[in-house]
Amino acid sequence: MSAYSQHRREFLRVALAATSLSFTPTFAWPFGSEEEQAAWYRNAKFGMFIHWGPYSLASVEASWPIMTPTAGGITEAEYRDLPKRFNPTKFNPHAFVDLARAAGQQYMVFTTKHHDGFCMFDTSYTDYKITNTPYGKDIVKQLADACKERGMPLGFYYSPPDMHHPAFRDTSKLAKENWGGEPARPEWPLYLDYMQLQLTELLTGYGPVALIWFDGLHHQEKYGGIRFLDLIHKLQPATLVNDRIGLPGDYQTPEQFIPSGIPTKDVRFNAVDTSVQQKLKNMIPRPEDFQLWETCMTINNTWAYNSHDHEYKSAQMLIRSLVEVASRGGNFLLNVGPQPDGLIQPEFQERLRAIGSWLSVNGESIYGTTYGPVQGVSSIRTTAKKDKIFVHVFDWPRGPFEINGLQGRALSAYLLAGGQPLKMEESEGKLRIELPPQPPDPNVSVIALRV
């Protein structure tokens, strides 16, 4: 046996012994099966993404300044030293959950480890973690406990790339030289073991995990994803997994864009290749062909807190993005980057609460819906639920409102805001509705049709 093999065996023996008491979860999972969890996820529609770590101190993006130094004005050495002064004493996990609830968000996804390798949980397998900062407490554990107390499903973002781990890459070099990882090195299996051990910690020590959100960057096949999919399903069978570890996963994750068509199981959308999107634009797939999907998006231009980024999307734009996503059957995962002190900045809170106010009136047209029967009309978006079709009007007409392509015969129409009944008539497949002169909501007004 080689020295490397002996080292690997000893590493696993010690590591697995340390977690042997945690391999069997002691909590009760709230969903009986992955199918029930998928149904919950599809109905939830709106979640909060949280990118947070010591990088917030420098107002730089998570990890990328050391991977591509042109992305931020900070050296790798300076970036690596940030944990020494990370002390978010104003962090209140219940405030995070309460804000998500006020926004109408139905689940949260937290970055437990980004590409830089820094862990926001008290892992046993690296010293590069939150409990070795001046703050000294497990952020993930506090948030998980608050989510359990408040009944908020929680998912974990976990980065397979790890710039800090010497088995992922030769750390004697700057990260910009080998940030993609080096699977040809003999140490690579040790890194995959490290991933397994950390995922085991997250799946056995923090309560129910609604989903695992991998972010594998390029050449994801190098992680041998089936190994981790099997691990996740063994430890928490109902946990959903995204599509960023070299496998299709349970749901697709377009980033910073909304597909122009409804995703199907045999198509993968991306922001660069728009030909597939154009091909499926306006097509209504069969229910069995629909692919679960989730757009993740920032409120400004950055995932992490950046005191210099003031290009905030308006509340109206964010509400319309949520409607756009729901009209194609997807979920909207909207990101916040907390400040280094642990607070979420007022500009984010204002927009989240504005979305929540809109949902408090119009949520029936979003939650529990699927893609609508009318696609590709610029002035409206549609969603559907049982015997109702919801028409989201972006551009309020000056005269009577007409709509084609509805499935079934409309029995009645009313405004969700206030419940005002609307006069209508239907002929030759076209529905004509008389609307008040002013829209009830300046962002998006919703007409409910019983069919």
Which 8-state DSSP code applies to residue 255?
B
The percent of residues above 90 in pLDDT, for the chain, comes to: 83
pLDDT for residue 144 is more than 90: yes
Which 8-state DSSP code applies to residue 53?
S
* Domain C-terminal end among 313, 341, 369: 369
263: pLDDT confidence band, cut at 50, 70 and 90? very high
Examine the domain organization and report whether 377 and 363 are in the same domain: no
Strand partners, 240: 211
- For 50-54, 101-105, 120-124, 400-404, which range has the lowest pLDDT when averaged over its residues? 400-404
Assess contact for 80 and 133: CB atoms under 8 A: no
Strand partners, 392: 381, 446
Q: Quick one: pLDDT at residue 352?
A: 98
pLDDT in tens, 80-103: 999 999 999 999 999 999 999 999
Examine the domain organization and report whether 301 and 437 are in the same domain: no
Quote the CA–CA distance of 333 and 355 in Å, as a whole number. Answer: 13
The CATH number covering residue 445 comes to: 2.60.40.1180
Examine the domain organization and report whether 326 and 430 are in the same domain: no
31: pLDDT confidence band, cut at 50, 70 and 90? low
Examine the domain organization and report whether 218 and 357 are in the same domain: yes
* Domain C-terminal end among 329, 353, 369: 369
Quote the CA–CA distance of 260 and 216 in Å, as a whole number. Answer: 24
Examine the domain organization and report whether 376 and 328 are in the same domain: no
CA distances to 9, 53, 307 from 337, rounded to whole Å, are 40, 9, 11
pLDDT for residue 447 is more than 70: yes
Examine the domain organization and report whether 38 and 178 are in the same domain: yes
Examine the domain organization and report whether 399 and 338 are in the same domain: no
pLDDT for residue 443 is more than 50: yes
Among the listed residues 246, 250, 144, the one whose alpha carbon sits nearest the alpha carbon of residue 204: 144
Examine the domain organization and report whether 59 and 189 are in the same domain: yes
Q: Which tokens hold the place of 270?
A: 């991306």
Structural domain span for residue 442: 372-450
pLDDT for residue 9 is more than 50: no
Examine the domain organization and report whether 386 and 357 are in the same domain: no
pLDDT in tens, 174-209: 999 999 999 999 999 999 999 999 999 999 999 999
Q: Quick one: pLDDT at residue 28?
A: 37
pLDDT for residue 125 is more than 70: yes
Examine the domain organization and report whether 322 and 387 are in the same domain: no
Residues 390-408: what's their mean pLDDT?
90
Q: Confirm whether 121 is domain-assigned.
A: yes
Examine the domain organization and report whether 323 and 407 are in the same domain: no
**Does the reported pTM lie above 0.75?**
yes
Question: In terms of DSSP H, where are the helices of 137-270?
Answer: 139-150, 175-178, 188-205, 225-235
Examine the domain organization and report whether 205 and 187 are in the same domain: yes
pLDDT in tens, 65-75: 999 988 668 99
How many domains in the chain?
2
Residues 302-313: what's their mean pLDDT?
98
* Domain C-terminal end among 369, 404, 424: 369
Assess contact for 139 and 108: CB atoms under 8 A: no
